[in-house]
Amino acid sequence: MKWIIFGVLILFLVLFVAFHVRIVEQSKSVVIERLGSYYETWGTGVHFLVPFIDRVAQQISLKEHVVDFDPQPVITKDNVTMQIDTVVYFQVTDSKLYTYGVNNPMMAVENLTATTLRNIIGDLDLDGTLTSRDLINTQMRAILDEATDKWGIKVNRVELKNILPPREIQEAMEKQMKAERERRESILQAEGRKRSEILIAEGEKESAILRADAVKEQKIREAQGEAEAIALVQKAYADSLTVLSNAKINDEVIKLKSLEALEKVADGQSTKLIIPSEIQNLVSLIASAKEASK
């Protein structure tokens, strides 16, 4: 009988310790109430819960939370209704405020995100909404972070995940983008043709210049060659005159040269020749000399 009672006591003690000794894990906190009011917040480690006096009000994760909210219908400044879904990154910084600051913090953050998004988009038109993601994200993060301070929540980041305009607007945007791409393609093709024609014209211009330079160079060289030839001829003629002037030429030599000149004239097209008397006498003399030599 004593052993049974002892075993029951041991079992009761084990159950008591199991229910009242708590180990708080890393990145978590536990809010403790004593006699119905907030008492303290437990951090990482081993803690003892006073039986029948203390109770665990809430166990909270201190890690960063990522919440993807469903798409919300919003209306732009130019009365276009679109669907936008948001992703909010937040972290609990004060477990007490998170527990007692608001009832159902997740729903509170979701509703606050939806109303803030509607207010911001209401001041923008369709084009501004589609091109101002970073601005919208920054404004929403600032507003949400300030509003959730009293709930013990720190909003680190807000992102617009998808922006879905009505189908007819999407089709109009696709047509506009297609027309813009075609316009850019036409501009590029025109610029390419223009550049090609410019290059061809520049090539023809350079080719014409090179041809003109070649003709010019050729004429210069021909003129220089003719000038040099004339100079050589004149020099030879001058040299011959110098030789003749230095030599002692008598009348017989002059007559002989005249005879040689007549031989050249006789070879031409002339039909009548007038021979001076001196040359005739010289010819007779030469003929006599030839006869005597025989």
Query: Hey, what are 34's tokens?
Result: 């004593």
- Cα 287–291–293 angle (5° rounding)? 115
- Cα 277–278–280 angle (5° rounding)? 60
Q: Chain-centre distance of CA 23, in angstroms? A: 57
- Eight-class DSSP state of 149: G
Position 225 scores a pLDDT of 83
Position 115 scores a pLDDT of 92
Q: Which residue has tokens 């011959």?
A: 240
- pLDDT, tens only, 23-66: 888 889 999 998 889 999 998 888 888 888 888 899 999 999 99
Written as one string, the DSSP assignment of 200-254 is: HHHHHHHHHHHHHHHHHHHHHHHHHHHHHHHHHHHHHHHHHHHHHHHS---HHHH
The angle, 0 to 180 degrees and rounded to 10, between the axes of the packed helices 251-266 and 277-293 is 90
By CB atoms closer than 10 A (0-12, 13-18, 19+), residue 6 is: exposed
Distance between CA atoms of residues 54 and 67, nearest Å: 32
Position 154 scores a pLDDT of 94
The one-digit pLDDT tens for each residue of the chain (294 residues) are 667 776 767 776 666 666 778 888 888 999 999 888 999 999 888 888 888 888 889 999 999 999 998 888 898 888 888 899 999 999 999 999 999 988 888 899 999 999 999 999 988 888 888 888 899 999 999 999 999 999 999 999 999 988 888 787 777 777 777 778 878 888 888 888 888 888 888 888 888 888 888 888 888 888 888 888 887 877 776 776 676 566 555 555 555 556 555 555 555 555 555 555 555 555 455 555 445 445
Position 244 scores a pLDDT of 58
Q: Which residue has tokens 């911001």?
A: 120
Please list, residue by residue across 246-257, b when 16 or more beta carbons sit within 10 angstroms of its beta carbon and e when fewer do.
eeeeeeeeebee
Position 6 scores a pLDDT of 67
Q: Are 126 and 169 in contact (CB under 8 A)?
A: yes
Q: Are 153 and 64 in contact (CB under 8 A)?
A: no
Position 54 scores a pLDDT of 86
Query: Hey, what are 84's tokens?
Result: 């936008």
Query: Hey, what are 157's tokens?
Result: 């980041």
Position 87 scores a pLDDT of 94
**Shortest CA distance to 116 belongs to which of 140, 84, 134?**
140
Strand order through the sheet with 54-61: 37-42, 28-34, 54-61
Q: Helix, strand, coil proportions of the chain in percent (round to 5)?
A: 60, 20, 20
| Contacts of residue 24, Cβ cutoff 8 Å, sequence gap at least 6 | 30, 42, 43, 44, 45, 46, 47
- pLDDT, tens only, 177-203: 777 887 888 888 888 888 888 888 888
| Contacts of residue 110, Cβ cutoff 8 Å, sequence gap at least 6 | 67, 69
Position 292 scores a pLDDT of 47
Position 32 scores a pLDDT of 92
